[in-house]
């Protein structure tokens, strides 16, 4: 059998024990390469099959015959070549088969070992033991180290000095950008623009791979209905439909469609599963929910990532159905591999096997076995597999195949990344210099940040601001750089971030005078301050008293025509292990805002935060509120772009903003209950609070533009539909304001009668529509039965005939609707 040159090169890498050296001649592993069955011939074009129902003129017939015959010849040729050339998949199988057959049990277990390695200021610290472990073939991957020099040093150890020369996976938490930091994921999702989300991931992958990395622990797709949970910042919000779209866009962006591209990185969807449903919003807390809720609302984004071809999955810290996710065989094998056909590998989260002991499932050895049997292939940081699997296999040799399977999955990922062909993936210091933190990347970060901001209020068209007169810029976040990057921006250099003060000064021009005051500390509460600073928040308390700071701010505001107050959270108040029970503005900042409001000046509140906050008072008293999240490296420029009207705030919320913490958990797609509240406060025995409406302050999907839009009634092309339909639902959207703007037209569907209770409505589509003032456009949604499906009591995903209400509008609250009957045939 003959082999292609690439085939030989990839085998010789391992076979001859040399690094990237190509050899001539056929290496023995060729014998293992299974022949690929040749492709079935194409069916002839429909119209050539029979003349009925599709008459063509003689010219077209002749053309089609030529196309068909040449297609046939082409396919036969390809089939002949393929009979001799292994397909990529079979090449990989043969390669892995051969490699694994040479591995000792220790080496196989080594591939399952994922270690964290840090830096010191002058370069990588490769701990002696780790160095020895890599040489001994006891390490499959490392994370928390980057730069071409540092990663090359590690990769050299693996491919030059270990017995089988197997390259390392080099991972990192590249969550919303590598060096060019984009807005936090919750903000990225708020763009409702999947091209921008994908672009951000693609740039992140290009920078990360140029910096020596080949694996990112992203996307995080955990659905969250509880903004007390700090990690809501890392996900796409509360909705599974939107969350699925974001998950897929991120996977496409990172993996680029072909992991062999040297600017691609392996994505890792996390945290599997249900991590966002921690009770009370307290991180790492227990999760308990029905299967129907799981399937309908929490699992879809992970599944969507799998369907998009994500190469790896990370387990979650929480339990699922009473069993920790990391040792849950139903989750990792039945659901993920068997039902969803996931083909990549699973890594545990940081020390998650060890933590199973705290959950109460036994000692480390027992939990290592549980995790392996469940389907967790790689062990992050614990070294539990390294320590426990060999003795376990000695006790029970029938467990060795589980180790072999896990090892194969890790090796396959390495193969798909092209690491056996080039372990360095073209990474050089020159490439890093050229491709990281480029002006083009920063430009993209600025545009994406501007489009992630959500305008929550704009009374009397306070915004955009004019570039004349005097503007007071006040607040502890106005000059902050560090906070702009948000959490999980580990490689980002906050000193390069543009703060709001600089952004505004750059944009202001000479006719606008900008005066500033800090006005308040970010956090006054000593209990929280201690916790935040202990974990690196670096919040410096001003030497002036809170009252002196407020007095100075009020005096500054009084000189101005308008006040921009930049308030919110420290970056460290959201993200991992950053839950809050009170999600209002910290008290000192509230005091400042109250004093500023008393000046009678128009107050533009620019919010920075990593979660929905309770802003009831702020909504009632400020003239305008712009939610800017943590906007990344270019946040300050982007804030100026929006404040001065150079960029329309087209972001829309992807998580509801509650009026009060007591409403949580909160999401637009809740169930109706048997006693729904109709809005009359005198009616008792209905599902409501006495002190606050049920509805959130700002609903899911909400956001304003500088301009205004009007929606026509919903038009349906039919009022009864059979089978596959489709149904066309449309509205006419008109820009009725003075500015060009972009609206996010949202489609929701209600299924009022079903065999299991359904939510009041579910998002099933959206379109971003840009219109000039006075312009109108018909926006059409093509609805098929897919949009009607849900998980029934047997967890079968299907739809049931009957009435459906089609709702279209600017957010989940302000919708117009029309009803349709849909039958199966």
Active site residues: 349
Query: Contact between 217 and ligand NOJ (CB under 6 A)?
Result: yes
Rounded CA gap, 190 and 424, in Å?
Answer: 36
Residue 245: phi, psi to the nearest 5?
-65, -45
Complex with ligand NOJ: residue 350 or 494, whichever CB lies closer = 350
**For ligand NOJ, what does the binding mask look like between residues 724 and 763, x meaning CB under 6 A?**
----------------------------------------
Rounded CA gap, 23 and 242, in Å?
Answer: 50
Q: How far is the CB of 318 from ligand NOJ (least distance, A)?
A: 11
Q: Measure CA of the first residue to CA of the last residue in the chain; give whole Å.
A: 54
Q: How far is the CB of 277 from ligand NOJ (least distance, A)?
A: 15
Number of residues that bind ligand NOJ (CB under 6 A): 6
Q: How far is the CB of 425 from ligand NOJ (least distance, A)?
A: 21
Binders of ligand NOJ among 477-536, rule CB under 6 A?
none
Count CB atoms within 10 A of the CB of residue 598: 11
- Closest to 628 measured CA to CA, from 759, 441, 480: 480
Query: Contact between 229 and ligand NOJ (CB under 6 A)?
Result: no
Cβ-count burial 648-674 (b if 16+ within 10 Å, e if not): bbbbbbbbbbbbbbebbbbbbbeeeee
Q: How would you class 285 by CB atoms within 10 Å of its CB: exposed for 0-12, middle for 13-18, buried for 19 or more?
A: middle
Residue 768: phi, psi to the nearest 5?
-95, 125
With contact defined as beta carbons under 8 Å apart, do 718 and 819 qualify?
A: no
Q: How far is the CB of 407 from ligand NOJ (least distance, A)?
A: 21
Complex with ligand NOJ: residue 277 or 729, whichever CB lies closer = 277
Binding residue (CB under 6 A) for ligand NOJ from 405, 576, 582, 800: 576
Q: How far is the CB of 145 from ligand NOJ (least distance, A)?
A: 12
With contact defined as beta carbons under 8 Å apart, do 771 and 743 qualify?
A: yes
Q: How far is the CB of 270 from ligand NOJ (least distance, A)?
A: 6
Complex with ligand NOJ: residue 212 or 464, whichever CB lies closer = 212
- Closest to 814 measured CA to CA, from 758, 744, 719: 744
Binding residue (CB under 6 A) for ligand NOJ from 165, 270, 359, 652: 270
Q: How far is the CB of 266 from ligand NOJ (least distance, A)?
A: 13
Residues with Cβ < 8 Å from 72, sequence gap 6 or more?
41, 42
Angle at 175 between CA 174 and CA 181, to 5 degrees: 85
Residue 631: phi, psi to the nearest 5?
-85, 0
Q: How far is the CB of 349 from ligand NOJ (least distance, A)?
A: 5
Complex with ligand NOJ: residue 173 or 239, whichever CB lies closer = 173
% helix, strand, coil for the chain, step of 5 = 40, 15, 45
CA within 13 Å, CB half, 188: 34
Q: How far is the CB of 50 from ligand NOJ (least distance, A)?
A: 57
With contact defined as beta carbons under 8 Å apart, do 651 and 190 qualify?
A: yes
Complex with ligand NOJ: residue 107 or 222, whichever CB lies closer = 222
Query: Contact between 282 and ligand NOJ (CB under 6 A)?
Result: no
Tell whether the torsion through CA atoms of 460, 465, 468 and 471 is positive or negative: positive
With contact defined as beta carbons under 8 Å apart, do 471 and 515 qualify?
A: yes
Rounded CA gap, 371 and 559, in Å?
Answer: 64
* 716, β-bridge pairs: 729
Count CB atoms within 10 A of the CB of residue 730: 18
- Full DSSP string of 273-325: TTGGG-GGG-TT------HHHIIIIISHHHHHHHHTT-SEEEE-SSEETTEEG
Complex with ligand NOJ: residue 253 or 475, whichever CB lies closer = 253
Rounded CA gap, 35 and 75, in Å?
Answer: 17
3-class state of residue 626 by DSSP:
strand
Tell whether the torsion through CA atoms of 772, 778, 784 and 785 is positive or negative: positive
Residues with Cβ < 8 Å from 357, sequence gap 6 or more?
363, 364, 367
Q: How far is the CB of 382 from ligand NOJ (least distance, A)?
A: 12
Question: Using CB atoms, what's the residue nearest to ligand NOJ?
Answer: 217
**For ligand NOJ, what does the binding mask look like between residues 341 and 360, x meaning CB under 6 A?**
--------xx----------
Complex with ligand NOJ: residue 349 or 761, whichever CB lies closer = 349
Query: Contact between 283 and ligand NOJ (CB under 6 A)?
Result: no
Binding residue (CB under 6 A) for ligand NOJ from 15, 98, 173, 283: 173
- Full DSSP string of 717-770: S-SEEETT--EEEEEEEEE-SSS-EEEEEEEEEE--S-SS--BS-EEEEEEEEE
Helix (H) or strand (E) holding 115: strand 113-116
Complex with ligand NOJ: residue 216 or 361, whichever CB lies closer = 216
Complex with ligand NOJ: residue 349 or 447, whichever CB lies closer = 349
Q: What is the DSSP letter of 334?
A: I
Q: How would you class 30 by CB atoms within 10 Å of its CB: exposed for 0-12, middle for 13-18, buried for 19 or more?
A: middle
Rounded CA gap, 766 and 820, in Å?
Answer: 19
Q: How far is the CB of 643 from ligand NOJ (least distance, A)?
A: 34
Complex with ligand NOJ: residue 588 or 610, whichever CB lies closer = 610
Complex with ligand NOJ: residue 253 or 809, whichever CB lies closer = 253
Q: How far is the CB of 578 from ligand NOJ (least distance, A)?
A: 12
Q: Taking the mean position of all CA atoms in its chain, how far away is CA 677?
A: 35
Complex with ligand NOJ: residue 340 or 350, whichever CB lies closer = 350
Which residues in this chain contact ligand NOJ in the complex, by CB under 6 A? 173, 217, 270, 349-350, 576
């Amino acid at each position: 059998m003959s082999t292609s040159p690439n085939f030989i090169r990839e085998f010789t890498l391992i076979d001859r024990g040399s690094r990237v050296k190509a050899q001539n001649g056929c290496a023995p592993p060729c014998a293992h390469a299974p022949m690929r069955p040749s492709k079935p011939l194409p069916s002839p074009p429909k119209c050539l099959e029979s003349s009925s129902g599709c008459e063509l003129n003689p010219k077209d017939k002749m053309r089609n015959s030529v196309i068909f015959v040449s297609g046939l010849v082409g396919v036969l040729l390809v089939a002949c070549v393929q009979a001799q050339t292994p397909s990529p998949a079979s090449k990989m199988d043969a390669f892995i088969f051969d490699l694994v057959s040479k591995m000792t049990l220790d080496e196989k277990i080594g591939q399952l070992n994922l270690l964290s390695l840090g830096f010191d200021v002058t370069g990588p610290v490769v701990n002696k033991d780790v160095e020895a472990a890599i040489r001994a073939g006891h390490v499959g991957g490392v994370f928390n180290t980057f730069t071409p020099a540092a990663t090359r040093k590690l990769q050299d150890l693996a491919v030059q000095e270990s017995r089988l020369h197997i390259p390392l996976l080099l991972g990192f938490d590249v969550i919303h950008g590598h060096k060019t930091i984009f807005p936090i994921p919750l903000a990225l999702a708020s763009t409702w623009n999947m091209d921008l989300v994908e672009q951000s991931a693609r740039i992140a992958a290009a920078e990360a791979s140029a910096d020596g990395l080949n694996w990112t622990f992203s996307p995080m797709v955990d659905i969250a209905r509880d903004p007390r949970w700090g990690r809501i910042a890392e996900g796409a919000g509360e909705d599974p439909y939107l969350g699925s779209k974001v998950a897929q866009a991120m996977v496409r962006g990172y993996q680029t469609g072909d992991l062999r591209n040297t600017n691609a990185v392996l994505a890792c969807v996390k945290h599997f599963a249900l991590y966002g449903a921690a009770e009370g919003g307290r991180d790492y807390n227990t999760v308990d929910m029905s299967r129907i809720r799981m399937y309908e609302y929490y699992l879809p984004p992970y599944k969507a990532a799998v369907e998009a071809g994500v190469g790896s999955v990370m387990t979650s810290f929480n339990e699922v159905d009473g069993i920790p996710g990391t040792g849950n065989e139903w989750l990792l094998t039945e659901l993920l591999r068997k039902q969803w056909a996931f083909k990549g590998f699973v890594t545990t989260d940081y020390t998650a096997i060890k933590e199973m002991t705290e959950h109460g499932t036994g000692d480390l050895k027992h939990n290592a076995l549980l995790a392996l049997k469940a389907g967790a292939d790689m062990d992050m940081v614990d070294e539990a597999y390294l320590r426990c699997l060999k003795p376990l296999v000695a006790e029970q040799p029938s467990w060795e195949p589980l180790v072999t399977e896990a090892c194969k999955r890790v090796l396959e990922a390495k193969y798909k990344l092209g690491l056996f062909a080039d372990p360095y993936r073209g990474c050089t210091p020159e490439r890093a210099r050229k491709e990281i933190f480029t002006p083009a990347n920063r430009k993209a970060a600025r545009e994406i940040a501007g489009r992630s901001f959500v305008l929550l209020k704009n009374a009397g068209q306070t915004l955009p601001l004019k570039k004349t007169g005097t503007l007071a810029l006040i607040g502890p976040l106005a000059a902050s750089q560090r906070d702009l990057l948000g959490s999980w921006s580990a490689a980002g250099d906050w000193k390069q971030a543009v703060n709001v003060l600089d952004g505004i000064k750059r944009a202001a021009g000479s006719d606008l005078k900008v005066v500033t005051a800090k006005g308040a500390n970010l956090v006054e509460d000593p209990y929280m301050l201690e916790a935040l600073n202990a974990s690196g928040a670096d919040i410096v308390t001003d030497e002036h008293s809170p009252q002196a700071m407020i007095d100075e701010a009020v005096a500054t505001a009084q000189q101005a025509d308008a006040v921009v107050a930049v308030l919110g959270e420290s970056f460290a108040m959201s993200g991992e292990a950053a839950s809050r029970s009170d999600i209002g503005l910290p008290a000192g900042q509230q005091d400042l805002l109250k004093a500023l409001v008393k000046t009678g000046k128009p107050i533009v509140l620019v919010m920075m935060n990593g979660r929905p906050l309770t802003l009831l008072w702020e909504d009632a008293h400020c003239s305008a509120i712009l939610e800017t999240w943590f906007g990344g490296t270019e946040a300050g420029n982007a804030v100026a772009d929006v404040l001065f009207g150079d960029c329309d705030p087209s972001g829309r919320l992807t998580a509801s903003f509650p009026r009060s913490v007591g409403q949580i958990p909160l999401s637009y797609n809740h169930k109706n209950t048997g006693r729904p509240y109709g809005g009359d406060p005198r009616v008792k025995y209905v599902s409501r609070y006495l002190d606050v409406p049920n509805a959130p302050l700002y609903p899911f999907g909400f956001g304003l533009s500088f301009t205004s839009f009007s929606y026509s009634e919903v038009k349906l092309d039919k009022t009864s539909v059979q089978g596959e339909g489709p149904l066309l639902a449309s509205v006419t959207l008109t820009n009725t304001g003075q500015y060009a703007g972009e609206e996010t037209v949202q489609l929701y569907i209600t299924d009022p009668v079903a065999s299991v209770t359904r939510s009041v409505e579910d998002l099933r589509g959206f379109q971003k529509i840009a219109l000039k003032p006075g312009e109108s456009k018909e926006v059409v949604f093509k609805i098929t039965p897919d949009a009607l499906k849900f998980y029934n009591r047997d967890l079968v995903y299907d739809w049931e005939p009957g009435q459906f209400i089609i709702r279209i509008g600017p957010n989940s609250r302000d919708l117009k609707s029309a009803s349709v009957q849909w039958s199966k045939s």
